[in-house]
Amino acid sequence: MPDTDHNQSPADWSGAFAALPMETPPAGGWQRMQRALDATPARRSRRQWPMWLAAAAIGAVALVPVLHRTGSDTAPTPASNEVAAHKRVPVDTSRPPLSVSKRPETRVATTTEPAKQTEPASSVANPEATPRVAAVPGDTTPDPRAGELHEEVAALQAQSAQLEALLAIARDDRVASASGAALAVEFDRRIGRIDASLSQPGLAEVDRVALWQARVSTMRELAGIETTQRWLQSSGERYDGALVSVD
Amino acid sequence: MPTSVPPTAEAPRSSFAIDVPEALLARVRAGERAAFEQIYRRFERPVFNLALRMLGGAHGPDGVEEASDVLQETMLKVFNKIGDFRGAASAGHGDGASPFWGWVRQIAVNEALMRLRGQRRHQHDVALEDDEFVVDAGPLPTAAADAAALNRALARLPAATRSVLWLYHAEGYTHEEIASLMQRTPSFSKSQLARGGRRLRELLEPEKAHA
C-alpha cells in the first residue's frame, strides 16, 4: 500500500514532508540494542586519548597562536568571576529541553497500547537523580546581575560565531594529517556535548556563561589546531611525529 | 512573489508524538529490559526517520548505517538517562510538562546534530546569518508530491539547511528552538529556511529555475 497520496498535491512544505513515507530501520535493531546495553559498563572505559596526541596538539597550538584573547577575556568582570566559581558544569547530552515545540501544538497520537495506569505518577520526579545543570538548587532565584551575564553571553556568542567562520575557512580535510584530523574530530565532539548542555531548559545564566566560555575556549583550541595544520602544510612541513620522536 | 517569512499558523504533527503510559516509564526506570523494548519499538521508526532525513542518507547503505547508529545512541541515552527525565508520560498530563516523546526527540535531534558536526558537514553553512529572509510563497511544485523526487532534492541540500527545513516543517520547532539546538541565531534558522525552500523549489522545478 502506498504511503503517500499522489492524487493530491501538498499545500505547503510541511504537508510535503509529512507525506514522505516513514523510513524503517534495518531488522535486528533491538538485538543490537541489547548487545549494547549488555556492554554498557565496558563502554565507560573506551577512548583513552593518546597522551602524545594531546601533547602534539598543545605544541601545534603554541607554534602558531593565531587567535589572541580579546580584551574582554583579560579583564574579567565580576560576573565572570562568579562564573569561574561555577566552572566544570557537568555536560549532559540527554537533557529534556525544547522537547516540545512552542509553535502551536498539534495533535498527539494516542498510544496503541492503552495500559492500565495502576501506578501513581509520582515517580516522574526523582529527587535523587543525578544533579543536572538545569536543576542546580538556588539557581532559580532572580540574579541581580542577570543583565550583565546576558551581555557576557552575547559577547561570547559573537566570538563563537567568528570562530565558526574562521574554522570554515581554515578547514581542509583533503590535506589534514591523520593525527590532526582525529584530534579535530575529538574537539568537535566536545563542542557538540557543550552545545547539548547549552540547550537545557531553565539553565541558570551563570551556568550558561560558563558553558559559552567553555565553547569559545574549545573552539579557540580547535581553530588553533586547524590553522596550524594549514600553516605547516602550506610550507611543506608536518610535525605529527616530531614531538614524540627522540631520534 | 517574495515575501518575508510568514509565521506558521499551526505546527505540523511530529511523528514522535506518541503517548506512553506512566506505568511503562516507571518499569523502564526500574531497569526492566522488557519495558524498555516496548519504548524502543514505539520510537525506533521516528528516531531512525529523523536521523535519515537530517543526515541526508535516504539513499545508500552508508546513510542507513549512520541513521542506525543515531538510533542506537539515542535509545541508549534514553535508557541510561531516563532517571533524569522530569516530564510527563504524555502531552495531556503534568501541567504542561514536556512529554516523554519530546524528550526522546530532543535526544535524537542532538545525536544527529553531533554527528553532523563531527563529520564537519556544517562547515559550508556558517556564513549565512545575514542572508535575506525571503521565501517564494507560490504554490508548491507538483513534484513535491513525488516522494522520490523530494527525497533526492532534500539529499542535495547542505546538511544545515536540510536540518533546519526538517526541524521546522516536519517537527514543528520554532526558529528560536532551532537556533538553540544548533547554537546559532534565529536569523540563521530563518535564512536557512528561506534559502532551503527556494533551493528545493529550484531542484523540483529545474525548467522554471533556468527559464
Would you list the domain boundaries of chain B?
2-10+128-209, 22-118
Q: β-strands B134-136, B2-4: how paired? A: antiparallel
C-alpha B57/C-alpha B155 separation (Å) is 7
- Top CATH class of B2-10+128-209 equals mainly alpha
Distance from CA of B169 to the nearest CA of A (A): 5
Partner-chain residue, chosen from B8, B49, B98, that has the shortest CB–CB distance to A23: B49
More confident residue, B189 or A120: B189
The ipTM assigned to this model is 0.83
B41 with A30: Cβ contact below 8 A: yes
- Asked whether the predicted pLDDT for residue B108 surpasses 90, the reply is yes
Partner-chain residue, chosen from B20, B84, B118, that has the shortest CB–CB distance to A192: B118
Count CB neighbours of A76 within 10 A.
13
Interface test with chain A among B86, B107, B115, B131, by most A beta carbons within 10 Å: B86
- Asked whether the predicted pLDDT for residue B12 surpasses 80, the reply is no
Which one, of A109, A27, A121, lies nearest residue B41 by Cα? A27
In this predicted model, what pLDDT tens digit does every residue of B15-48 receive, in sequence order?
999 999 999 999 999 999 999 999 999 999 999 9
Which one, of A57, A7, A27, lies nearest residue A187 by Cα? A57
- Asked whether the predicted pLDDT for residue A193 surpasses 50, the reply is yes
Task: List C-alpha distances in Å: A158 to A162, A205, B147.
Answer: 6, 17, 40
Mean pLDDT along residues B115-124: 67
| Residues 6+ positions from A127 with CB-CB distance below 8 Å | none
Record the pTM.
0.58
CA quadruple A76, A80, A82, A87: dihedral sign: negative
Closest chain B residue to the Cα of A171, Cα to Cα:
B123
Q: What integer pLDDT is reported at residue B62 of this predicted model?
A: 73
Mean pLDDT along residues A216-237: 77
Q: What integer pLDDT is reported at residue A139 of this predicted model?
A: 47
Amino acid at A235: S
Helix axis angle, B33-55 to A29-38, nearest 10°: 110
> Residues B10, B41: contact at Cβ < 8 Å?
no
Count CB neighbours of B38 within 10 A.
17
* Helix or strand (DSSP H, E) at B161: helix B159-165
A93-107, A183-197, B123-137, B148-162: range with highest mean pLDDT: B148-162
Interface contacts A/B by beta carbons within 8 Å: 281
Partner-chain residue, chosen from A13, A99, A121, that has the shortest CB–CB distance to B102: A99
> Bridge partners of B136?
B2
Phi/psi of residue A109, each to 5°?
A: -65, 140
| Residues 6+ positions from B195 with CB-CB distance below 8 Å | B128, B131, B161
In this predicted model, what pLDDT tens digit does every residue of B130-183 receive, in sequence order?
555 566 667 888 888 899 999 999 989 998 999 999 999 999 999 999 998 988
- Asked whether the predicted pLDDT for residue A230 surpasses 80, the reply is no
Which one, of A156, A172, A138, A150, lies nearest residue A219 by Cα? A156
Q: What is the 3-state secondary structure (H, E, C) of A139-199?
A: CCCCCCCHHHHHHHHHHHHHHHHHHHHHHHHHCCHHHCCHHHHHHHHHHHHHHHHHHHHHC
C-alpha cell of residue B130: 545575514
Interface test with chain B among A3, A7, A23, by most B beta carbons within 10 Å: A23
The residue written with cell numbers 559498563 in the block is A41
Task: List C-alpha distances in Å: A218 to A101, A194, A205, A213, A224.
Answer: 30, 10, 20, 8, 10
- Asked whether the predicted pLDDT for residue A17 surpasses 90, the reply is yes
What per-residue string of b and e applies to B148-184 under the rule 16 or more CB within 10 Å gives b? eebbebbbebbbbbbbbbbbbbbbbbbbebbbbbbbb
- Asked whether the predicted pLDDT for residue A115 surpasses 60, the reply is no
Longest dimension (CA), chain A: 74
* Helix or strand (DSSP H, E) at B136: strand B134-136
Query: Does the domain at residues B22-118 carry the CATH identifier 3.90.1300.10?
Result: no
Which one, of A115, A133, A153, lies nearest residue A193 by Cα? A133
Find chain A residues with C-beta within 8 A of B172's C-beta: 101, 103, 105-106
Interface test with chain A among B80, B113, B126, B174, by most A beta carbons within 10 Å: B126
Partner-chain residue, chosen from B8, B21, B142, that has the shortest CB–CB distance to A111: B21
Task: List C-alpha distances in Å: B190 to A65, A164, B162, B186, B200.
Answer: 35, 18, 13, 6, 15
Q: Which of B6-15, B39-48, B78-87, B123-132 has the lowest mean pLDDT?
A: B123-132
B80 with A24: Cβ contact below 8 A: no
State the average pLDDT for chain B: 83
- Asked whether the predicted pLDDT for residue A135 surpasses 80, the reply is no
C-alpha B78/C-alpha B67 separation (Å) is 16
The residue written with cell numbers 529534556 in the block is A96
More confident residue, A244 or A232: A232
A40 with B76: Cβ contact below 8 A: yes
B150 with A20: Cβ contact below 8 A: yes
Question: Are B2-10+128-209 and B22-118 equal in CATH topology?
Answer: no
Which one, of B145, B136, B143, B162, lies nearest residue B204 by Cα? B143
Cα torsion B71, B164, A108, B38 to 10°: value is: 0
- Asked whether the predicted pLDDT for residue A15 surpasses 50, the reply is yes
